[in-house]
Amino acid sequence: MEQPPETIVASSRRSRRLQLTFGLGFAVLAVSLSLAVSVGAVAVPLSTVWGIMFNKLIPGIVAADWSAGREAIVWDIRLPRAILASLVGAGLAIVGASLQAVTRNPLADPHLLGISAGGAFGAILALLHTGLFIGLLTVPLLAFLGALGATLIVLAVSQIAAATSADRLVLAGVAVSFIVMSGANILIFLGDPRATQTVVFWMLGGLGLAQWSQLVYPLVIFVGCGLFLLASARKLNAMTIGDETAATLGIPVGRFRLTIFVVGALITGVMVAFSGIIGFVGLMIPHIVRLIVGGDYARVLPVSALCGAIFLVWADILARTVMAPDDIPVGIITGLIGGVFFVWLLGRKPN
């Protein structure tokens, strides 16, 4: 059966608009990453930034007329940090979008539902008490287990308290988040005082510990879990309508919702392990994206990843430049912006 001409034209327009959005988004991300590497306490010209990167990728392609110190700043410090910022922002954004779908709650976010707090608890446990008993994988593993544990506690509390509504689920998440963070604070209090300052800065969200050797972990998790979520876009669309509609389409609602929570815990746990607690990215970005591309999750998820990456890169630029040469924890920047957005969202009239 052929589609009406009006439908074909509308579909073509949506496709062109999506392509334009992606093209513009990738261009903005490339510019943002370049500026993130260029600006800071020691400014590096953009031409030098690109020259160093090209020379590292293809040795000898550019005449090295820069100092070894500038090369170290660009390649060893700022570029891994900018890439980590983009990965964390993209990961938290798609988690927030997915949670908002399966809970049908516009306020769902890994930070508000206690998932980030659980990841922080696991990471602090590894950093201050257990040690790296399986090497560099220890912190991401325990962060994931902590995030998963917090997720299961939130789900259990919501069942015990009959908190089936969207608002009550968020309240259950906030309550569990406070409890888990209290446990994390106890771990800090009982830990080595010499490591406390580093952990506290990490708890506020920081990207200064980014290293090339560690970027593979958030990259692999983001790509693998992101592809799974994108493949589940049709199911996420159905979940936004209601459990009954999703069930009639053959979706095992309870199992699928739990799967999304576990995938969200995995992404959040690994991101928290390398960046600390960064809140409100998963709350803000999906709402902004839906205003641009609509509610189809085949578009919402990739555009959310792109916008989340851009947002956190710029948040980190602000964190490094507002009080240069000192770094403000990036979680403070996202908290300030996210808090204002949260208030706006609460006061927004539903359609």
Higher-pLDDT residue of 217 and 342 is 217
- Which of 87-101, 151-165, 311-325 has the weakest average pLDDT? 151-165
For the purposes of burial, counting CB atoms within 10 Å of the CB of 294, is it exposed (0-12), middle (13-18) or buried (19 or more)? middle
Residue-level pLDDT at 287 = 92
Share of the chain residues as helix, strand and coil, in percent rounded to the nearest 5 = 80, 0, 20
Name the token pair of 100.
């908002």
Give the residue among 61, 180, 47 at the shortest CA–CA distance from 119.
180
Name the token pair of 92.
């938290």
pLDDT at 158 over 80: no
Domain ranges of the chain: 83-347
Residue-level pLDDT at 164 = 55
Output the CATH code of domain 83-347. Answer: 1.10.3470.10
Q: Give per-residue burial for 99-123: e unless 16+ CB within 10 Å, then b.
A: bbbbbebbbbbbbbbbbbbbbbbbb
**Across 3-43, where does the E strand assignment appear?**
none
Residue-level pLDDT at 1 = 46
- pLDDT tens for 237-272 read 999 988 888 889 899 988 898 899 889 988 998 898
Residue-level pLDDT at 167 = 61
pLDDT at 112 over 60: yes
Among left, alpha and beta (phi > 0; psi -120 to 50; other), residue 339 is: alpha
Put simply, whether the predicted model's pTM sits higher than 0.75 gets the answer yes
Cis peptide before 286 (omega within 30 of 0): no
Higher-pLDDT residue of 350 and 189 is 189
